[in-house]
Amino acid sequence: MPEPGDNNNLVVRRAQAAEDAELADLFNRVHAGLAGPAVRTAADLAWRCRRQPGCSDEGAILVETTSGELLGYAFVKDSGDILELVVAPEGPRGRVTSALITACEARAEAAGAERIRVNVPIIDEEVADALAAVGLAPSRAAGRLYVSTMDPGRLAQILASELGEGTWSRPVEIVLSDPLPWQPARSVVGSNESSDLGPTLSMECRQRTLNQLLLRGASPWAALMLGRLRIRPVGKTVAGIRLLKRIQIQAPWFHTLGDVL
């Protein structure tokens, strides 16, 4: 693994299609802590970043050590949109970013692009600093990501199951006051869903409110105060709020330009 500041042992070359599985693994590893990006596979990368109109083999760029250890990769379209910029957590991330961007810029210029652009997670300051150092600046993002659930109660169950056994002494009931035709009005959340004891508490809200609570990290207290969330019995309100806060998705939402379809 090269040391930071050592410029002589990075290899920048074209990423081959046969390496897509390794690239997809790196993508999933780097983005596992974020919400939103689609899980990549070799087939997905080939479709999303190689066969997409405006993509070419020259736009697939990889950085590795002289011993062949993958440090990062990027796919840039002829328009200058960098569909993916992925930098491994190990190694000299700043230099890898700089090498990838320089190669993307050269490719975009050769293809006649007017600009390059790329999405980077806000929490990744190391990559952001490297981008600023090579002349990129933050600009206003074009698209807005909207997310909904087919069944918010089912998502609540999945998120709750991640918390593991022992979190739930007894199940919790979620009631949607305005279920859409395909959504069940009632879901039971908690590891003891089959318990004969019945739910300890019941939360009732609109499906949109539940989506906001789960996906956007909206404040359950605010929802309660505004009358958008009801918890029964009232004596269990604090426990209900605490549970909601635990199952909310708090991770930052992110998407690459390759996720914009």
Partner 1 sequence: MTVRKIEPSYRETKAVAAMVDNTFGYYGGPYWGWKYDDAGGPPGLIVVAEVDGEVVGCNHYLAMDYHLGGRGSVPGLAAGDLVVAPDHRRRHVGSDLSLEGRNVVAESWPEAILVAMFTWRSLGVHYEKLLGYTRVVPGYREWSKRLTWDHKVEQLAAANEHLITKFPRLAGVDHGIRFELKGSPPLELRVDADGFRPEEIGEVPSFELRMGGADLFPAGRSRWRSAVAAAASGRLRLRGSPRAMQQALSVAGAYVEVVRLLLRR
Instruction: Please say which residue, 133 or 238, places its beta carbon nearer to partner 1.
Output: 133
Minimum distance from residue 241 beta carbon to partner 1 (Å): 19
238 scored as a contact of partner 1 (CB under 8 A): no
Three-point CA angle 220, 34, 64, nearest 5°: 170
Quote the tokens at residue 189.
């959340």
18 scored as a contact of partner 1 (CB under 8 A): no
Contact between 120 and 127 under an 8 Å Cβ cutoff? The reply is: yes
> From CA 2, how far away is CA 4, in angstroms rounded?
7
Minimum distance from residue 43 beta carbon to partner 1 (Å): 6
Candidate list 118, 172, 223, 224; residue touching partner 1; CB under 8 A: 118
Instruction: Please say which residue, 47 or 198, places its beta carbon nearer to partner 1.
Output: 47
Q: Which of residues 54-93 bind partner 1 (CB under 8 A)?
A: 80
Minimum distance from residue 206 beta carbon to partner 1 (Å): 8
> 156 to each of 80, 153, 189, 239, how far by Cα in Å?
39, 5, 7, 16
Q: Which residues contact 248 (CB under 8 A, 6 or more apart)?
A: 159, 213, 214, 217
Candidate list 154, 230, 232, 245; residue touching partner 1; CB under 8 A: 154
Span interacting with partner 1, options 6-14, 16-24, 180-188, 230-238, rule CB under 8 A: 180-188
Minimum distance from residue 107 beta carbon to partner 1 (Å): 11
260 scored as a contact of partner 1 (CB under 8 A): yes
158 scored as a contact of partner 1 (CB under 8 A): yes
Instruction: Please say which residue, 143 or 233, places its beta carbon nearer to partner 1.
Output: 143
The SS3 assignment for 233 reads coil
Candidate list 19, 36, 170, 245; residue touching partner 1; CB under 8 A: 36
Three-point CA angle 163, 167, 170, nearest 5°: 125
> From CA 142, how far away is CA 261, in angstroms rounded?
13
21 scored as a contact of partner 1 (CB under 8 A): no
Q: Which residues contact 124 (CB under 8 A, 6 or more apart)?
A: none
